[in-house]
Structure 1
């Protein structure tokens, strides 16, 4: 089954993106255009001067001084062409690097704006392929292909124009060869976009499958899924290979036609030039100049069509990069300001597929309350926690904080009010300070150190560079307890009024879990706490306990009241204590 794929931008949007890249740097565009035109113009001088030398020699009494001057002109035009072409490409590459930088920043902004549920549905493969392969493809195209195609296209136009000026008939012969490329070019462009998009999708599926297999290697071995995962991986590799063979076929057909066009143009000019010269309808110098111009068509045409493939690949990659902003959901929500910290859940329903996992949940959480949510596996506890934190949006019903729907709160306001703490505590590549600044960018060192001290993260003082110690692969690595303390310090710095705990210590060993729970107590003091409890000792100390079963809240009350009632919670409590 193919994983959910992030959206892909349409042709019109990709064209607008190309125009925006140009408009964003008008000065750079003008300089590239000017120097490229000058380089192409100076490159036209040599064939024309050679033609003049031929005509001068043909008179039978050539002036060596004139020939020497014409030869010096050829050398001068060649030197000017080299210098201007090099400068034009330098300006084009500088323009491309600036455009790529803007594109990368925009892509990062759009990626960070993606809702968590969208990222989870898409998986790591699609985002990884867009972040690496697609960015690299667009970068290569902007740096190399776009300048080469631009320079080659201008040189082709200038050469044909010069050939027409030398002799209109010979110029028409050169045009016939170029026009030959119209049909294979249209055929290629019609089939290239869907072929390259299919290749990108296949690469994403392959990356997702291989990444999932590698990440779950222990599970694969434990359940004997090795052969099944290998088969699935082989299938994804075969799909990627098939799409690449398709794009290779398109390129091989197009490039073959370039040779045909060049040979056809050269042959026509030589035959027509000979006939015109024999019939005294043109000079020998003009025929030679036209032939030289035609032979010069080979280089820019080859470059244009060779890099046209890269441009098509980049266009498909740009469509995939631009498509991410559609998954981000457009403009950020701009809900009102909550009047207080009360959370209310009204008739909430939610489904991952076509069947609801939450079925009409009603719940109210008072400010400063400690609420435990318990129930058997699959009851919907973690799903409700994600909805309360705004990670997912209900299919029906509402979840409000202070009367404002959680879904309508801007991300910054939502994170300032409600934070979800799970079993996963990610340590980002960067310094300790960078990892904590995520929660409070303006926090000074004193505030950061106070947050670390509150969660008993004294280990920060033993690090080689303190808060400036790099973390991640190849640098200092944190153990699970330290990673959780770092995450809890983030919560303190974010200073939310409500903390939702989804068994944040479940993956830790008992000793580490006790230290983590002491640290957590400092974080939770004075806040509203919603604890999704798989171990019932958490519920025992809560102000109230909500019992969930089959996607509904079936019981709500204090621990003592629910035990005395003899219902589902009482049964869970007896089972927990082995009675």
Structure 2
């Protein structure tokens, strides 16, 4: 079961949005000013038209009309130009802010402990960085200017209606009560519905990624029908979540459409009554009615954009939720006194499952080569993850220089301990770019030396050498080559402790032995902890730790453990292909 990453609450999302606005306060203030001026130009036209009506009724001749009509045209043109420029500036503001949101998300994602990412599932993390980030970027580019202008126009139009005649303006406001109630009903339900929809999208992405990654295994075991059943269940949940948001829109939009006409009708009825009694002029009635009719434009824009606004708000809350995960994963920043690693009474279990390690006590001295061996399921990889600070012990402590390994901040941790597993990634780019990730200032000579140290002779034979592109459009590195690139990156990173969790499992035996010996030679004076199923690694180690069912059952050098004729001797004999004495 995946442990979803957190989602920012309304207050946290609002604070984050205000921080982004403060970073662009100058641009935002300019957009706000232009939008206000555009709205003011827009509200002038109905007032001028009302003046024309009054002039005609008063038989003032065509002079008044000739003067006021061009003014209406000028106001309309000014509104168009000001609104266009406001939208242009808002698009630029949106692009810059969207870039900040993406960069902040990437920084936070990279700062997350790998255990958090594993438990959350890559589908959730990927969906937030793609679908949610795109939704926020689109909202900033397109939704922001439209909503901002519409809100300002609505407020100024209502203010103008009240200024023309307080009674007619108040009547129009009461007529808008239906729209306000409909929106209130929608907004109280929309955020939760859109967060649910986004969550099911993450689950769908996770299911598709897992199916694609395990396609060969699924086919080999004949599990296609089971996987299809899982897919249908996930799709059904996603469709139901999308249906709920669609149902909300199907209620809101018709209600708002009907309610648009109510304030105009109410003003005309009240205005006719007041005009008949001589309490208000026809021009005022026309002006207020036109204002309320004009109000339908920005209100329809807000209604049309409300769906996207709620969707993007939910997306932003999901993106900003990584701030909570980052805060929860924040380390103490303590500095180890030395490179000595100690485990005291360590017990560990994954999530709510049973313990897989029990009371492990172990000391790894600086510069020591320790091999961790044992049968499958003994807890070797789990011990490696604890040593590398990926996991925290359920009981006991795992420290380096007196500081809990899991409390080291990421940069400090990388300088202290690096974990290398058999699952490695080749990044798109050149061989040089793949290696420089570990040491940006490394020279070509240092890169060549690192490749040679792990036996990556194939890199020298590439058409463009270090500048050869890797990936679908270039050299396709196989599993063994990817592993060698990863080991070369480790050498360049130069940590004081290296945890190898079957890191050479994808290499052929001869290449693996060469790479391990090369690593041991290059890392002389550094601590090497090798979790291995090839016992020649244990033969070359200073100490061998033997695990069985999560317990540390033997600890000592190879020759002594073989002589003791215990669990390690049985493992060694079986690996050598000899019968156990």
Using the size of structure 2 for normalisation, the TM-score is 0.94
Partner residue, 1:42 = 41
Offset of residue 511 of structure 1: 5.8
Q: Distance in 1 between matches of 2:251 and 2:314?
A: 20
Q: Which moved more, 1:455-464 or 1:478-487?
A: 455-464
* Equivalence map 1:80-159=2 (5 Å): 80-159=78-157
Partner residue, 1:343 = 341
Query: Is the partner of 2:176 in helix, strand or coil?
Result: helix
Partner residue, 1:553 = 552
* Equivalence map 1:123-522=2 (5 Å): 123-330=121-328, 332-352=330-350, 353-463=352-462, 466-510=465-509, 513=512, 516-517=515-516, 520-521=519-520
Q: Distance in 1 between matches of 2:558 and 2:449?
A: 35
Offset of residue 469 of structure 1: 4.2
Question: Does 2:42 correspond to 1:22?
Answer: no
Q: Distance in 2 between matches of 1:425 and 1:410?
A: 23
Offset of residue 294 of structure 1: 1.7
Q: Distance in 2 between matches of 1:296 and 1:522?
A: 80
Residue by residue over 1:115-165, the C-alpha shift from the partner in whole angstroms, topping out at 9 and shown as x without a partner, is 111111111111111111111121122222232222111111111111222
Contact 2:176 2:263 in 1 (8 A): yes
Offset of residue 424 of structure 1: 1.3
Offset of residue 111 of structure 1: 0.7
Offset of residue 357 of structure 1: 0.4
Query: Is the partner of 2:552 in helix, strand or coil?
Result: strand
Q: Distance in 1 between matches of 2:202 and 2:498?
A: 35
Query: Is the partner of 2:477 in helix, strand or coil?
Result: coil
Residue by residue over 1:361-387, the C-alpha shift from the partner in whole angstroms, topping out at 9 and shown as x without a partner, is 111122222221111111001110111
For residues 329 and 286 of structure 1, do their structure 2 counterparts lie closer, same or farther at Cα, with a shift above 3 Å needed? closer
For residues 336 and 300 of structure 1, do their structure 2 counterparts lie closer, same or farther at Cα, with a shift above 3 Å needed? closer
Contact 1:375 1:548 in 2 (8 A): yes
For residues 127 and 372 of structure 1, do their structure 2 counterparts lie closer, same or farther at Cα, with a shift above 3 Å needed? same
Q: Which moved more, 1:95-104 or 1:225-234?
A: 95-104
How many residue pairs align between the two structures? 577
Offset of residue 519 of structure 1: 5.1
Contact 1:455 1:485 in 2 (8 A): yes
Contact 2:102 2:129 in 1 (8 A): no
Residue by residue over 1:154-199, the C-alpha shift from the partner in whole angstroms, topping out at 9 and shown as x without a partner, is 1111111112222222212321222222211111111111111111
Contact 1:419 1:496 in 2 (8 A): yes
Q: Which moved more, 1:257-266 or 1:232-241?
A: 257-266
Offset of residue 240 of structure 1: 0.6
Offset of residue 216 of structure 1: 0.4
Q: Distance in 1 between matches of 2:522 and 2:424?
A: 15
Residue by residue over 1:194-229, the C-alpha shift from the partner in whole angstroms, topping out at 9 and shown as x without a partner, is 111111111111111121111101111122221111
Q: Distance in 1 between matches of 2:511 and 2:457?
A: 15
Q: Which moved more, 1:81-90 or 1:8-17?
A: 8-17
Residue by residue over 1:83-111, the C-alpha shift from the partner in whole angstroms, topping out at 9 and shown as x without a partner, is 00011111222222222222222211111
Offset of residue 287 of structure 1: 2.2
Partner residue, 1:572 = 571
Partner residue, 1:529 = 528
Q: Distance in 2 between matches of 1:139 and 1:464?
A: 40
Contact 2:453 2:519 in 1 (8 A): no
Q: Distance in 2 between matches of 1:400 and 1:186?
A: 54
Offset of residue 514 of structure 1: 5.4
Contact 1:455 1:488 in 2 (8 A): yes
Q: Distance in 2 between matches of 1:519 and 1:66?
A: 96
Gaps of 5+ in 1: none
Query: Is the partner of 1:346 in helix, strand or coil?
Result: strand
Offset of residue 68 of structure 1: 2.0
Question: Does 2:14 correspond to 1:12?
Answer: no
Offset of residue 405 of structure 1: 2.2
Contact 1:455 1:522 in 2 (8 A): no
Offset of residue 61 of structure 1: 4.9
Q: Distance in 2 between matches of 1:450 and 1:185?
A: 66
For residues 158 and 463 of structure 1, do their structure 2 counterparts lie closer, same or farther at Cα, with a shift above 3 Å needed? farther
Offset of residue 493 of structure 1: 1.2
Offset of residue 523 of structure 1: 4.1
Q: Distance in 2 between matches of 1:60 and 1:196?
A: 58
